[in-house]
């Protein structure tokens, strides 16, 4: 992409309404624009990051064997009357009446709709296990929408639903989700710690929230600092193997890590003092096993091997895709702007032309652009007739991990400058070396 043809409405002033770094930086970098309280348009740069996060979630869900689909945003109220949640959900639910006077709602989540699909099409244990998921906009009429996309009213969420014959099988599904979530967050350059949580309006026996540690987080968290040393890394994961999934889940949940809702001071004090941590975190996902809470009242039954009709065991599993954009920025920025992890960056590399209009510099930038594109990368070329300082400030603000700077003086010596956004370190090298260094950083993941 050439910046002269792009739409990147960068703001010079720090917007007054933004109280935390991610909100401020998303507005300044031209990623979002508020349409009304807690409702945002995703401008091109923000949309790119949203799509990259969504793509990682899709890939990791499908790697775990979960099946993508799409359910609507607007749902009939009658389904929610069956589960009893139409009244329980309260004012957070946006209720709508259509022209025929029918009660509808803008979905805050999809347990009822998916249970209805299940009961219409599945009646035998032979069709289990089943995991369906979608990534769709949700609406919750939050009392206090704030912090930009972190607590919106309209937000983008991946929600997956598991159907199993037995509690044991459902717990395998639960552990499989836990592992696939860990892997998704790691690919986004984030550490999200699974913490034992309380279940809220979804209900259920077993639930973990995934929290990104950040001072601006809305949840109080209590944990053993040793949990922050555990990584999934590049290990092979056998998602169909219940024992293997359980082992990974246990490894990550063995140590004390809880939100304030389930915090147990006596247990906390058993942690060696030097490892006790009280901090704040951002919830970026949650998994639930809730047994037959929806299948029983809504009649989602299957016939088991003994010929008896039994309610299915269900779970639901959510990732806050749009909140993650803010959470990643909270975890990764400095005083000059955003520092994107390579896994989610909107463009792989910036190109800064120090002397636009200089034939040699222009040609060298074009050649770099073509070489990076040829290597499967998406560069952002700042080809505007701006001062170098302004170009650097824009690149730092939007946070691309790598920048190649091209000027007539360097070109005379056959070199360009490659700069790492995270460390600020620069190195001179030939244009070819810069391209292969950047391409090497992204390995096989470029474009994905």
User: Is residue 175 a contact point for Mg ion (CB under 5 A)?
Assistant: no
Among residues 244 and 279, whose Cβ is nearest to ligand ATP? Answer: 279
Cβ within 8 Å of residue 131, ≥6 positions away = 64, 65, 66, 67, 160, 161, 162, 163, 173
Pick one of ligand ATP, Mg ion, none as the site partner of residue 140 (Cβ within 5 to 8 A by kind).
Answer: ligand ATP
Can you tell me which of 131, 286, 295, 394 binds ligand ATP, judged by CB under 6 A? 286
Segment near ligand ATP (CB under 6 A); pick from 114-122, 164-172, 277-285, 404-412: 277-285
Give phi and psi for 250, each to the nearest 5. -65, -40
Are the beta carbons of 312 and 295 closer than 8 angstroms? yes
Residues near Mg ion (CB under 5 A), total: 1
Read off the tokens for 297.
């009242």
Q: What is the DSSP string of 164-229?
A: ESSHHHHHHHHHHHHHHHHHHHHHTT---EEEE---GGG--SEEEEEEEE-TT-SEEEEEEGGGGG
Can you tell me which of 23, 187, 323, 403 binds ligand ATP, judged by CB under 6 A? 323
Pick one of ligand ATP, Mg ion, none as the site partner of residue 353 (Cβ within 5 to 8 A by kind).
Answer: none
Report, in Å, the least distance between residue 152 CB and ligand ATP: 4
User: Is residue 37 a contact point for ligand ATP (CB under 6 A)?
Assistant: no
Tracing tokens 């920048």 back to the chain, one arrives at 403
Q: Whose CA is closest to 441, among 406, 415, 402?
A: 402
> In the chain, how many H helices and how many E strands?
14, 23
Among residues 40 and 155, whose Cβ is nearest to Mg ion? Answer: 155
Pick one of ligand ATP, Mg ion, none as the site partner of residue 152 (Cβ within 5 to 8 A by kind).
Answer: ligand ATP
User: Is residue 42 a contact point for ligand ATP (CB under 6 A)?
Assistant: no
Are the beta carbons of 170 and 289 closer than 8 angstroms? yes
Cβ within 8 Å of residue 400, ≥6 positions away = 340, 345, 346, 347, 348, 349, 350, 380, 421
Report, in Å, the least distance between residue 294 CB and ligand ATP: 14
Report, in Å, the least distance between residue 109 CB and ligand ATP: 6
User: Is residue 283 a contact point for ligand ATP (CB under 6 A)?
Assistant: yes
Residues between 271 and 290 that touch Mg ion (CB under 5 A): 286
Segment near ligand ATP (CB under 6 A); pick from 243-251, 278-286, 342-350, 383-391: 278-286
User: Is residue 318 a contact point for ligand ATP (CB under 6 A)?
Assistant: yes
Residues between 134 and 173 that touch ligand ATP (CB under 6 A): 140, 142, 151-152, 155, 157
User: Is residue 394 a contact point for ligand ATP (CB under 6 A)?
Assistant: no
Report, in Å, the least distance between residue 106 CB and ligand ATP: 13
Pick one of ligand ATP, Mg ion, none as the site partner of residue 323 (Cβ within 5 to 8 A by kind).
Answer: ligand ATP
Cβ within 8 Å of residue 387, ≥6 positions away = none
Can you tell me which of 46, 194, 320, 379 binds ligand ATP, judged by CB under 6 A? 320
Read off the tokens for 334.
């400095």
Q: Whose CA is closest to 401, among 383, 378, 429, 369?
A: 378
Residues between 166 and 205 that touch ligand ATP (CB under 6 A): 200
Residues near ligand ATP (CB under 6 A), total: 16
Report, in Å, the least distance between residue 215 CB and ligand ATP: 17
Q: Which residues of 323-343 are buried (b: 16+ CB within 10 A; e: fewer)?
A: bbbbbbbbbbbeeebbbbbbb
User: Is residue 285 a contact point for ligand ATP (CB under 6 A)?
Assistant: yes
Read off the tokens for 315.
């779970």
Binding site for ligand ATP (CB under 6 A): 109, 140, 142, 151-152, 155, 157, 200, 283-286, 318, 320, 322-323
């Amino acid at each position: 992409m050439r910046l002269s043809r792009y739409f990147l409405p960068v703001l010079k002033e720090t917007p007054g309404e933004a109280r935390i770094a991610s909100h401020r930086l998303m507005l300044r970098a031209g990623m979002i624009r508020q349409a009304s309280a807690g409702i945002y348009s995703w401008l091109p740069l923000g949309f790119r990051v949203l799509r990259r996060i969504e793509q990682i979630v899709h890939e990791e869900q499908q790697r775990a064997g979960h099946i993508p689909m799409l359910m609507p945003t607007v749902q009939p109220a009658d389904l929610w009357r069956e589960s009893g949640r139409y009244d329980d959900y309260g004012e957070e639910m946006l209720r709508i009446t259509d022209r025929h006077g029918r009660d509808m709602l803008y979905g805050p989540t999809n347990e009822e709709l998916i249970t209805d699909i299940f009961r219409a099409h599945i009646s035998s244990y032979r069709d289990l296990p089943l995991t369906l998921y979608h990534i769709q906009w949700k609406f919750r009429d939050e009392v206090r929408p704030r912090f930009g996309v972190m607590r919106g009213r309209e937000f983008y969420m991946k929600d997956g639903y598991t159907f199993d014959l037995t509690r044991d099988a459902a717990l395998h599904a639960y552990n499989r989700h836990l592992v696939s979530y860990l892997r998704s967050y790691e690919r986004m350059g984030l550490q999200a710690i699974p913490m034992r949580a309380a279940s809220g309006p979804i209900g259920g026996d077993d639930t973990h929230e995934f929290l990104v540690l950040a001072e601006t987080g809305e949840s109080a968290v209590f944990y053993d600092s040793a949990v922050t040393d555990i990584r999934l890394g590049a290990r092979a994961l056998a998602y169909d193997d219940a024992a293997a999934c359980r082992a990974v889940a246990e490894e990550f949940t063995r140590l004390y890590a809880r939100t304030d809702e389930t915090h147990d001071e006596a247990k906390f004090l058993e942690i060696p003092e030097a490892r006790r941590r009280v901090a704040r975190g951002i919830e970026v996902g949650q998994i639930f096993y809730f047994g037959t809470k929806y299948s029983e009242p809504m009649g989602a039954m299957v016939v088991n091997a003994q010929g008896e009709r039994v309610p299915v065991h269900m779970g639901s599993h959510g990732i806050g895709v749009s909140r993650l954009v803010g959470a990643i920025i909270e975890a990764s920025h400095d005083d000059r702007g955003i520092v994107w992890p390579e896994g989610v960056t909107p463009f792989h590399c910036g190109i800064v032309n120090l002397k636009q209009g200089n034939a040699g510099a222009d040609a060298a930038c074009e050649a770099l652009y073509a070489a990076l594109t040829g290597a499967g990368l998406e560069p952002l070329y700042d080809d505007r007739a701006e001062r170098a300082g302004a170009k650097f400030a824009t690149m730092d603000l939007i946070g691309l991990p790598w920048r190649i700077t091209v000027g007539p003086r360097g070109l005379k010596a056959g070199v360009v400058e490659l700069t790492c956004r995270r460390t600020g370190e620069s190195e001179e090298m030939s244009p070819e070396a810069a391209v292969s260094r950047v391409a090497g950083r992204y390995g096989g993941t470029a474009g994905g």
